[in-house]
Every structure is written in structure tokens, then in C-alpha cells.
Amino acid sequence: MTFNRRTTLSLLTVLCSLFVTASAQADAYPSKPVTLLVPYPAGGLSDVIARTVNNTLSKNLGQTVIVDNLGGASGSIAAQKVLNAPADGQIIFQGSPNELILAPLAISAVKFKSEDFRLVQMIATAQIAFLARKDLPVNSVDEFLVYAKKEAQAGRPITYASVGPGSFYHLLGEHLSKVTNIPMTHVPYKGAAPANQDLMGSQVDIFLAPFGKAYEELQKQGKLKVLAMLNSERLESVKDYPAISESKSLKNFTFNIWTGYFVKKDTPEPVVQVIHKAITDSLSDPAVRSGLAANSQLVAKPLSLKAVDKAYVDGTAQFRAIAKSIDLQPQ
């Protein structure tokens, strides 16, 4: 009985200590400004999303949230920076399957795994646009395929941009080439901003990219063409553009991609809970919702931490399957 009583008291002491420690961690975090790390250069859609959210997130965390842009290697350079830092929640990573699921499969120098990160909350889903240079002599996806086949037969395969080897947009280009049986040449960039510059400068032919309202303005100015959206139907926010399902040859070429906020896997649970609540509250803010919607982002439905964990596991399996379908090999 004495042993059992002592054991019980010891366990209670340990549990109380853990509870106090957890409470202290939650109360102390964040004690200084937090970095919102964006894995692409300033000027692209990822940067716009971060700057739409960061001020409201600052208010909800009670500390300044500073947007930091660090591009390169399909976003894996920024991802590695998170892993090199303490697991204390001071760096929140704005990521997607691009950087955390696909980059480790495509770049041999990347040593981290998807499982080294924890998704805290989804932010938004991006629609994918089929963009073309302004002087490409086509005005629809079906016309593009005819042109691309003719160019390939003449030894001039069309070029497609991506934000890096192994990125989702690289996979989309490879998949497009595979399903149409038309050779195409991949041209990787460090982010959407430099890819857009070369697209507008007619240095690259097409770019399958997350759609933002900036592209709408660029099309109106005659600087590029939006041939279609990779949607199964026309959505109200982009009703002026054909859905890919309206084409004759690529009816089932429908894709989108989500963005979420991540921390290092071993971040203490109380800190994760604080970040999760702050992000969840931010998603209900009218300014955040309207800002995301203005850039054609479909605002994510807030999920519990348990549901978020499952979504990340499922998403990892889904994107690994896409990579396997095109036999993606690390380079």
C-alpha cells in the first residue's frame, strides 16, 4: 500500500509538473516577434497571401508577425531553415505540397521528409491557370495542343515554366506532356515572380500557375493570355475564363493546390495550440477573407488539429502518388 501511495503521489507530481510546464509554454509564447517564412521571392502569389494574413495574425498572436521571403530549390531552402531553427514556434512556415512533399522526392540534395513538419492549419486553395505568352498564336487549350504538336514535330518543343524542379507546376507540365504525348521542355525558376517576368517577355511559352487577380489585369493589358482554369466547371470568381473541362482534349486535366501554415514537428503542443487558434481566428476576419478571395483563393474551412493532421497525411499520400505516376526521379 505504501508503495502504491508513493507511486501515485509521484505520478501526480509529474503530471502536475507537466501541466504547469505546458501552461507556462502557452503563456510565454510568443514573447517576441514571429517570422512568417515564405519560400519564394517577393512579388508572387505566395507573398501576397502572407501579406494578406500577417497583420491579422499579429493581432491574434499579440506579437508582430514579420514576412520573410527566401526562395530557391523549389522552396526547400526555406523549409530547411525551419528545421535548422529551434522547435519553438518562432518561425511559421507558409507551405504547400510543393516544398514539403514534392521537393524531397525531386531534389537529391533535400534530406528532410514531409513528416519533419506539422501542418497547423489550412489557409486557402489555389485555382490553377493555364497561362501563355502574349504572342503565342493560340487562343484556347485545344488550339495550343495543335500548335504544340506541330512545334514538337519541327524540333521546337514548347517550353513550360515552373517554380523549380519537382514543384507541383513541374509535375503538371510533365503530366501534360505525358497525357498528350507531346514533348515539352521544362524551364525552372526560383519563384512565380521571375517566371512571370519571362512569360511576359516571351522567353517561355506557358506557365501552369496558381491564379491571382494580377493575371487578370495582365491579360487585360495584353501582357499574357489566360487560356483556361484547371477546374471541372466555371467558378463565379473566374467565370470569364473557360474551365479545362470545356476543352475537347483535356476534359479531365483538373487540379488545384492548397496552402497551409506549418511548424517544426517537435514544437510543443501548447505552442501549436496557440498558433492554431490564432490562425483559425484570422480565417474568420473579413479583411483576410476578402483579401484572399480578391486573389481567387478559396478560403479554407478551419479544421481541428486532429483533422489537420489527417489532412496532411492524406495530402502527402495523394501528391506522392502523382509523383509516382510520372516516374519523378530525384536529381
Task: Concatenate the DSSP letters of all residues of 233-294 into one string.
Answer: S--GGGTTS-BGGGSSS-TT---EEEEEEEEETTS-HHHHHHHHHHHHHHHT-HHHHHHHHH
Residues 6+ apart with CB under 8 A from 57: 36, 65, 278, 279, 282
What is residue 17's predicted lDDT score, i.e. its pLDDT?
47
**Mean of the per-residue pLDDT values of the chain:** 91
Of 77-81, 171-175, 276-280, 292-296, least confident by mean pLDDT is 292-296
Give the three-class secondary structure for 168. helix
The architecture that CATH gives domain 127-256 is 3-Layer(aba) Sandwich (3.40)
Give percent of the chain above pLDDT 90: 76
pLDDT at 22: 44
Give residue-wise pLDDT tens across range 113-124: 999 999 999 999
Q: Indicate the pTM of the whole model.
A: 0.79
Considering only CA atoms, give the Rg of the chain.
22
Record: fold of 9-125+258-325: D-Maltodextrin-Binding Protein; domain 2 (3.40.190)
Cell numbers found for residue 122: 489550412
Quote the Cα angle for 185-234-205, to 5°. Answer: 20
Res. 6: pLDDT tops 70: no
Domain ranges of the chain: 9-125+258-325, 127-256
> 127-256: same fold as 9-125+258-325?
yes
Please report the pLDDT score of residue 214 as a whole number.
87
